[in-house]
A and B are shown apart, each in its own frame.
Chain A
Amino acid sequence: MVPFDIIFQGIAATFTVQNLFLLLLGLIVGVVVGILPGIGPAAGMVLVLPFSVGLQATSALVLMSGVYLASSYGGSVSAILVNTPGESASAATLLDGYPMTQRGRGAEALGISATAGCLGAVFGVLALAFTAPLLASLALRFGPAENCLLALFALSVISAIVKRNPIKGLISACIGLVLATVGADEVSNSIRFTFGLEALEDGVPFVQTMIGLFAISQVLTLSEQNQTISSVELAGSGFLTGFKTTFKHPLTLLRSFIIGLWIGALPAAGRSTASFMAYAEEIRAAKDKSQFGKGNPVGVIAAEMGNNACAMGDLIPTLSLGIPGSVGAAVFLGIMIIFGVIPGHKVFIEQGKTIYALFTAFFIESLLILALGLTYAKYFAKITLVRNDLIVPIILVFSLLGSYAIQNSFFDLLITAVFGALGYFMNKHGYSPVPLVLALVLGPMLEKNFQRALIMSDGSYSIFASSGISLVLVALTFFSLIYPYLSPLLKRWRIRSR
């Protein structure tokens, strides 16, 4: 246990004029970076790195923390309002956030996003502060076999999602899985399905695909309609409505928090995996699955909670083992090292003051984001009342700029355009994009770890049953695959026996 005086020193260190100013600066940069598609938290932190020259470690990390945390809020703003994921982790938010906007509940969705995000970050920071070493050592028990089975379990949720329309749903999932195999096979290093295009050797780029699938397809749809994104902004919606809605779903909050935190603690998976898994689990848990994708607040809560809890979860192995939990956390780690904060299990004591100042900064930022989100939601949402012929070109320009900026590559614009067309087609013909995205996110995790596990066991499948964790995951997967088809039978049997 860390002595209390270190914790209090850390808290006190945050409250200097300079640090509070830096905190605010980082927060503003983070929101802007988040709103703009293509610049994620990693690139955002590198952008402000020059400002941190000459700062003390504590001040520099306070500045970075603002960018790190606020970017996920900013990303959700553009996801909810104009169906453009500001960063990859926000893609899950738009699945129900944007339909809410279309129904005039944009401000409410923004309120939910701010509230659920704040809760995720606040409880995430508490978990980080008090259970990091424990969770980190638990996460280490997940090896390739366990990670493979975890991805399989997460994918099995598709069986629940597609129940309404299995054929279209499975086609969508298969497209995702096929796309996930494009590029260099990370295990054998052989290059697959690239059609000789060098740009595809690193796989189908994720954010560029998301921008196409959601933003561009939406631009096409909007330009067909001569109106506005949402016809009316509902009176009375916004401000506190979203805040209240969030607290009506405590179970969703709890489930998504655990998923987010745990995916974060695993070194191999990041925020987009967490938000999509949290979203998918809610579909699995819901009785009425038909409301998802049509503006169900539960979907927004789950995605936002998962995303923000994961942002904190990512820091668990980063701080306690020096193993970054995601790309964003890797940059955070690099910057920590530059400022002489060397992670490891001793960091909580040796650098306690800096670490607890960082936690305090995260705490303050979460509350500020909540305040910002609730007060400005109404005004942000006004953008959806702008006429389509004005807003569509703006969305188009920013989406394409974002897609280009990620790798400075014209080829990526082509990818975005192709997926824009695919998304438009899927939309028109009632194919849900959720199985596609879920398969695209989880496919590589599944395949890589499957291959790794078999290399380790010299080709023996017994490795997938060699630990308790694996057995539990296998059982859960089987159960979740058959349950949607078993439950109606059970119901009938129960009625008959009565």
Chain B
Amino acid sequence: MHSMKKLLVPLLILSIYPSLVQAAQEKFPSRPIKMVITHAAGGSVDLPARAMAQYMQKYLKVSVQCDNMLGGGGRKAMEYVFGQVKPDGYTIVASAFPSRLIGELVYDSKYKMKEYVHLGSWVGGDYRTIFVARDSVFKDFRQVIEESKKRKINVGGGGGLGSTSQLQIVYLKELVKLNLNFVPFDSDAEVTAAVLGKHVDIGTGPLSGAIRNHKSEEIRILAVHAPKRIKEIPEIPTMKELGFDGVVIPYGVGAWAPPHTPKERAKILSDAITTSCKDPEFIKWAEKSSTMLDPMGPEEFYKVTLEDYRSIEKVLPLLKKEK
């Protein structure tokens, strides 16, 4: 009996311990935050996300741990975070847009981008491009269109499931009416290799990668899917200037928290992102790594998502056909 009494006190303490901890946790954040990254370590989603995590922890005063969860072109991680039973702000997800929307709409995924709490984005101002080898017979995009009236043009693109590369091909096929064969590759790097080896006529890929090879004079960018000309390559026309309206394809990296995350916690997180974007060291990092920064706050980010919904829904039947 005596020993039972001895046990009773620790048991009592143990039983109220969780509520004690909870009380202490009122202050957010008080333990490490998990940032789930939808793509592989070292890639174009991962590196900017990890860089952001480093600066976020400076302002949040807790560590932000990065966790790559791969699968289904990012859908697995998006569904995992979306389905959090207790959205407490300690699990967030970083990924690229608008490819997450394509993944949702084309593959009927179990997450809804509209319901995700938008925290903010930092990478932006990156657009899809069309490029050829430096010594290709095509000197501008008009020549490609002319040639495609005579024969099918082979177009290389990287990506895979639900990528922006698919969206670009649909645009080229249906809106530009390019007579083409789409040759899919595993990565943008393989596309560049196929273009340089003259195995495909033209390649498609993000500006951030293409611009380096353009500057080192291996490839020539023919056109960008951007709303206006790019500062670094002012001589390259946009698709709109070439006469094709409504084929802008942006690319950005941002972060989201699961639906029903408490508002005040979401604000703390998005403030950390906004402040990090202004950190001179972060800006210096972006310049050094030729990462294109175009930060958006939560409201603007959400608006962009809604716009992207509308433009993708327009071509959704075509995208589904491609699938």
Q: Which residues on A are within 8 Å of B, measured CB to CB?
A: 42-43, 45-46, 49-50, 53, 139-144, 184, 186-187, 189-190, 198-199, 201-202, 267-268, 317, 321-324, 327, 330-331, 334-335, 337-340, 342-346, 407-409, 448, 452, 455-456, 458
Whether the Cβ atoms of A144 and B212 lie closer than 8 Å is no
Whether the Cβ atoms of A344 and B216 lie closer than 8 Å is yes
- Supposing A201-B72, A455-B181 touch, asked if A140 and B41 sit within 8 A by C-beta, the answer is no
A interface footprint on B180-193 (CB within 8 Å = 1, 0 otherwise): 01111111011011
- Nearest-neighbor residue (CB-CB) of B188 within chain A: A323
Q: What is the minimal beta-carbon distance from B129 to any residue of chain A, in angstroms?
A: 15
Q: What is the minimal beta-carbon distance from B276 to any residue of chain A, in angstroms?
A: 15
Would you call the interface of chain B mostly helix, strand, loop, or mixed?
mixed
B94 contacts chain A at the CB level, 8 A cutoff? no
Could you name 10 residue pairs across A and B whose Cβ atoms are closer than 8 Å?
A144-B194, A198-B71, A201-B71, A268-B186, A321-B192, A322-B212, A322-B213, A330-B189, A344-B216, A452-B184
Whether the Cβ atoms of A322 and B323 lie closer than 8 Å is no
- Rounded to whole angstroms, the CA-CA distance of A187 and B154 in the bound complex is 14
The 10 closest A-B pairs by CB, nearest first: A344-B216, A331-B42, A143-B199, A140-B197, A338-B289, A46-B41, A267-B193, A323-B189, A334-B42, A323-B193
Instruction: Name the A residues within 8 Å of B152 (CB-CB).
Output: 458
- Rounded to whole angstroms, the CA-CA distance of A480 and B197 in the bound complex is 28
- Rounded to whole angstroms, the CA-CA distance of A324 and B69 in the bound complex is 22
- Nearest-neighbor residue (CB-CB) of A187 within chain B: B184
Beta-carbon contacts under 8 Å, B3-47 to A: 40-43, 46-47
Instruction: Name the A residues within 8 Å of B217 (CB-CB).
Output: 344
Q: What is the minimal beta-carbon distance from A494 to any residue of chain B, in angstroms?
A: 44
Instruction: Name the A residues within 8 Å of B213 (CB-CB).
Output: 321-322, 344
- Rounded to whole angstroms, the CA-CA distance of A43 and B40 in the bound complex is 9
Taking a contact as CB atoms closer than 8 A, the residue among B54, B183, B197, B212 that contacts A342 in the complex is: B212
Beta-carbon contacts under 8 Å, B304-323 to A: 322-323
- Nearest-neighbor residue (CB-CB) of A324 within chain B: B189
Instruction: Name the B residues within 8 Å of A198 (CB-CB).
Output: 71-72, 75-76
Instruction: Name the A residues within 8 Å of B75 (CB-CB).
Output: 198
- Rounded to whole angstroms, the CA-CA distance of A46 and B70 in the bound complex is 16
Whether the Cβ atoms of B154 and A456 lie closer than 8 Å is yes
Whether the Cβ atoms of A456 and B189 lie closer than 8 Å is no
Q: What is the minimal beta-carbon distance from B33 to any residue of chain A, in angstroms?
A: 16
Instruction: Name the A residues within 8 Å of B70 (CB-CB).
Output: 202, 407
Interface magnitude class on chain B:
35 or more
Beta-carbon contacts under 8 Å, B161-182 to A: 161, 166, 181-182
- Nearest-neighbor residue (CB-CB) of A452 within chain B: B183
B200 contacts chain A at the CB level, 8 A cutoff? yes
Taking a contact as CB atoms closer than 8 A, the residue among A43, A144, A267, A448 that contacts B189 in the complex is: A267
Whether the Cβ atoms of A142 and B186 lie closer than 8 Å is no
Instruction: Name the A residues within 8 Å of B71 (CB-CB).
Output: 198-199, 201-202, 407, 409
Taking a contact as CB atoms closer than 8 A, the residue among A184, A321, A330, A340 that contacts B43 in the complex is: A330
Whether the Cβ atoms of B50 and A338 lie closer than 8 Å is no
Whether the Cβ atoms of B181 and A317 lie closer than 8 Å is no
Instruction: Name the B residues within 8 Å of A142 (CB-CB).
Output: 197
- Rounded to whole angstroms, the CA-CA distance of A334 and B48 in the bound complex is 11
Whether the Cβ atoms of B193 and A140 lie closer than 8 Å is yes
- Supposing A344-B212, A344-B216 touch, asked if A334 and B186 sit within 8 A by C-beta, the answer is no
B285 contacts chain A at the CB level, 8 A cutoff? yes
- Supposing A186-B184, A407-B69 touch, asked if A338 and B160 sit within 8 A by C-beta, the answer is no
- Given contact pairs A340-B288, A408-B69, enumerate 13 new A-B contacts (beta carbons under 8 Å): A53-B54, A143-B194, A189-B166, A199-B71, A199-B76, A321-B193, A322-B212, A337-B212, A340-B289, A344-B218, A407-B69, A455-B154, A458-B152
Whether the Cβ atoms of A140 and B196 lie closer than 8 Å is yes
Whether the Cβ atoms of A345 and B193 lie closer than 8 Å is no
| Most chain B CB inside 10 Å of its own CB: which residue of A46, A144, A189, A343 | A189
Instruction: Name the A residues within 8 Å of B43 (CB-CB).
Output: 330, 334
